[in-house]
Amino acid sequence: MKQVINILLLFLCIGKMFAQTQSRGVVVTNQPGVPVFTGNTYAVIVGVSDYKYVKPLSFADQDALLFKDFLQSKSGGSVKLENIFLVLDKDANASTQPRIRKWLTEEKKLQKGDRVYFYFAGHGDAINPDEYFFLLQDCNPGGDKNNYTGGMASVIQMYNIKSLIKNELIRNGIDVFLIWDACRTNELPGGESGLKNMQEGIAEKTENQ
């Protein structure tokens, strides 16, 4: 079966993209000819504005909350609160990445035909297109990009997230939307090439399973 990782980069027109109605736990699209989605929807949402060691952001945590509220609305699919993993600011710490994996693979019983949204809003940086990171609240790069791969736990390495998506979700027939709203500042050690590396790294081709 041909499965696709759907990558949505910045400035999403969410109202149009996810316009749906809900009936008995089944999402029915309004567009003729579009297959009816009959599974359950889950979401992993991480938003960080109040950084401890790097420049704070103004609205990343609020954007994350808005996305959560959208998913819970009728137009977003009326997703149940227990199906949303949400961490913001100081709660987005070194334990976040293993908690995401445990929540999806152990606590929730996902099945073929389900859907998972990953939403990350906050700082991002990259060493190269293969090594790029979402910075958690207490991340302290210390001016050295090698710190990201030197055992630092206060980052989410997107390679690990994409590996989870490919091997645990898509392989089992679960649709995935990865929404990456990552800002960066010149103080981060990835330098001017960091933004380009993030864009190249986060882009994902169709995966044939």
Determine the Cα–Cα distance for residues 125 and 46; give it in Å rounded to an integer: 16
* pLDDT tens-digit map of 149-186: 766 679 998 888 989 999 999 999 999 999 988 775 55
**CATH architecture of residue range(s) 2-11+37-204:** 3-Layer(aba) Sandwich (3.40)
Report which residue type is found at 100: I
Question: What's the pLDDT band for 208 if we cut at 50, 70, 90?
Answer: very low
> Is residue 199 pLDDT above 60, yes or no?
no
* Dihedral angle, C-alpha 147, 151, 155, 158, nearest 10 °: 100
* pLDDT tens-digit map of 35-81: 667 799 999 999 999 999 988 999 999 999 999 999 999 999 999 99
Determine the Cα–Cα distance for residues 106 and 127; give it in Å rounded to an integer: 32
Work out the average pLDDT over 22-32.
42
DSSP H/E element including 43: strand 41-47
> Is residue 133 pLDDT above 60, yes or no?
yes
Question: What's the pLDDT band for 209 if we cut at 50, 70, 90?
Answer: very low
> Is residue 103 pLDDT above 70, yes or no?
yes
Q: Which of 7-16, 85-94, 193-202 has the lowest mean pLDDT?
A: 7-16
> Is residue 189 pLDDT above 80, yes or no?
no
Domain extents for the chain?
2-11+37-204
Tell me what pLDDT residue 185 has.
57
> Is residue 4 pLDDT above 80, yes or no?
no
Instruction: Mark residue 33 as left, alpha or beta (left: phi above 0; alpha: psi -120 to 50; beta: remaining).
Output: left
For residue 205, what are the CA distances in angstroms to 5, 64, 188? Answer: 8, 26, 28
Question: What's the pLDDT band for 125 if we cut at 50, 70, 90?
Answer: confident
Q: Which residue has the higher pLDDT, 118 or 6?
A: 118
Report which residue type is found at 120: F
In whole numbers, what is the pLDDT of the chain averaged over residues?
A: 78
Work out the average pLDDT over 179-203.
61
